[in-house]
Structure 1
Amino acid sequence: MGTHAKRIAFPLLFLLSLATGSTWAGKITCIPGANSGTASPLNSIRRISIDEHSRTVNMDVVRSRTKDTETMGKLRADLVNMEDNQSGEPVYVFNSIPTVGVETTSLFKLFKTTEWRLISAGVTFVNKVPALRAVEQSVVFDCKRSDLG
């Protein structure tokens, strides 16, 4: 390889390594799985959309339910942490953004074992000290990736 070719090849290889280094950068969208059960409060979540670039999470949730209808709403969360697990899939940790006057927040963890699972914990702040209120059983979600890279 000549000197000119090396000067072109190295920067090109460097750019390609940067592009492939963040394999999971993009978006992931999840909906409840077919076998997610009905007992958990997490079943009120109808869709989770995580944007890894902006570190935001948007959830479509059931705000209220009657015999005949469901009233839907949106819940926004911050992506607090994202790191790979042993299977190479990322583990997402995010928290709901509490509204004014609400002293309770929900922490969520979305991870993949053999299937994607979501677990949550309710945390209440008393005199600015967090106290664990409740931990929900995990629920199965079907997740799909898009906009890679």
Structure 2
Amino acid sequence: MSISANRLALQFLMLFSAAGAASAGTITCVPGASNGPAAPFNWVRRISIDEHSRTVNLDVVRSRTKDTETMGKMRADLVGMEESQSGEPVYVFNSIPTVGTEVTHLFKLFKASEWRLVSAGVAFANKVPALRAVEQSVVFDCKRSDLG
């Protein structure tokens, strides 16, 4: 290849990389107002997904009494992000296990008519997974912001 062809290829590669980075963004979600008082308890209070780094941060309720809730943080890996028929992405992520944690949580955030979160807990005993719980889907209000 000639020097000018190399430069052209390099410029094209840089343009393509910049376009890919500009399309990445974040989405932040909180439980929706339509969940109402009759809705089941939801322990996930905030979701923040960074598409570029493929990380997810969750604010969760660690423990709850009649009068108080103890909040905590959970990190997760974005393991899948596919575009749905509606044009909105479907996010699939799982919690990053910490020392002493016996349950891994799997999540799917998708938009039907509204954003919904479905989660399941999987426990591992002797490296064998066992489904521990599947929670009802919960409505979330999500806002997207582009990075660039």
Give yes or no for the alignment of 1:147 onto 2:146. yes
Which residue number corresponds to residue 28 of structure 1? 27
Query: Contact (CA 8 Å) 1:30, 1:142: kept in 2 or not?
Result: yes
The list of structure 1 runs, each at least 4 consecutive aligned residues, that deviate by more than 6 angstroms after superposition, is none
Moved more, 69-78 or 136-145: 69-78
Matched residues, number: 138
- What is the aligned-residue RMSD (CA, Å)? 2.5
Q: Distance in 2 between matches of 1:146 and 1:63?
A: 28
Query: Contact (CA 8 Å) 2:74, 2:95: kept in 1 or not?
Result: yes
CA displacement at 1:66 relative to structure 2: 3.1
Q: Secondary structure at the match of 2:35?
A: coil
Normalised TM-score (structure 1)? 0.79
Closer/same/farther in 2, CA of residues 32 and 17 from structure 1, 3 Å limit: same
Letter aligned with residue 104 of structure 2: T
Q: Secondary structure at the match of 2:33?
A: coil
Which runs of 5 or more residues in structure 1 are unaligned? 1-7
Which residue number corresponds to residue 81 of structure 2? 82
Letter aligned with residue 85 of structure 2: Q
Closer/same/farther in 2, CA of residues 22 and 83 from structure 1, 3 Å limit: farther
Which residue number corresponds to residue 129 of structure 1? 128
- Give the % identical residues: 77
Which runs of 5 or more residues in structure 2 are unaligned? 1-7
